[in-house]
């Protein structure tokens, strides 16, 4: 896959959804089936993707990439969803965002059969969202092989406090 083509596809929207945030829109990747497919194939060749027992995708854009990778590798996909979206017994945790705070939930029964996980999201910014999922998995003594993101905003230093390897396709 051409990193240049991937980089050129990302569109910046300054001051969205708040002032001083440069929103990075991944939608053009999805509108380019060849690019999207090449990206998923590339991530699916990484050793962590083959070694994991299941993928956990983060609400909402992480679902897009996580489900595509899980299908490509024929591995289970588990959802880390925003609050009040999942039924049953949940593991829940609040976290801080680059713009606001939120809470994520995972169905306890969904993660129980597996020990090794890869977390998938679209963008790593401050790392608060990914850390929330990592913490929930650690409470249940699960192993996290990697966080896989399309974009990493390195200036925000999100990867520093996660304690898991981060694989990003584009760094800004």
73 contacts 44 by C-beta, under 8 angstroms: yes
Figure out which of the listed residues 63, 93, 120, 128 binds ligand AMP, where binding follows CB under 6 A.
128
Q: Which is nearer to ligand AMP, 43 or 124 (CB)?
A: 124
Q: Which is nearer to ligand AMP, 25 or 34 (CB)?
A: 25
Four-CA torsion 86, 43, 172, 93, nearest 10 degrees: 20
Q: Does 61 bind ligand AMP (CB under 6 A)?
A: yes
- How far apart CA 38 and CA 60 sit, in angstroms, is 21
Q: Which is nearer to ligand AMP, 15 or 51 (CB)?
A: 15
Four-CA torsion 136, 83, 148, 114, nearest 10 degrees: 50
Q: Does 122 bind ligand AMP (CB under 6 A)?
A: yes
Two structure tokens written together for 100: 């606001």
Residue numbers 21-40 binding ligand AMP by CB under 6 A: 21-24
- Of the listed pieces 35-43, 68-76, 80-88, 120-128, which binds ligand AMP according to CB under 6 A? 120-128
Q: Phi-psi category of 169—alpha, beta or left, where left has phi over 0 and alpha has psi -120 to 50?
A: alpha
Minimum CB separation from ligand AMP for residue 74, in Å?
25
Q: Does 129 bind ligand AMP (CB under 6 A)?
A: yes
- Of the listed pieces 16-24, 31-39, 65-73, 106-114, which binds ligand AMP according to CB under 6 A? 16-24
# of chain residues touching ligand AMP (CB under 6 A): 19
Q: Which residues touch 95 (CB under 8 Å, ≥6 apart)? A: 101, 102, 103, 104, 128, 129, 131, 132
Query: Which residues contribute to the site for ligand AMP (CB under 6 A)?
Result: 21-24, 58, 61, 97-98, 121-130, 158
């Amino acid at each position: 896959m051409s990193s240049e083509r991937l980089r050129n596809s990302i569109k910046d929207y300054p001051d969205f959804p708040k002032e001083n945030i440069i929103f990075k829109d991944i939608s053009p990747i999805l509108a380019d089936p060849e690019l999207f497919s090449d990206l998923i194939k590339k991530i699916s060749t990484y050793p962590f993707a083959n070694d994991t027992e299941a993928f956990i995708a983060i609400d909402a854009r992480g679902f897009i990439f996580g489900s595509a990778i899980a299908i490509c590798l024929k591995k289970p996909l588990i959802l880390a969803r925003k609050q009040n979206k999942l039924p049953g017994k949940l593991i829940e945790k609040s976290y801080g965002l680059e713009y606001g705070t939120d809470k994520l939930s995972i169905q306890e029964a969904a993660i129980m059969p597996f020990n090794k996980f890869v977390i998938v999201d679209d963008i790593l910014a401050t790392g608060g969202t990914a850390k929330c999922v990592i913490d929930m998995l650690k409470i249940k003594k699960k192993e996290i092989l990697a966080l896989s993101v399309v974009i990493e905003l390195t200036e925000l230093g999100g990867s520093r406090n996660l304690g898991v390897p981060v694989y990003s396709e584009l760094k800004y």
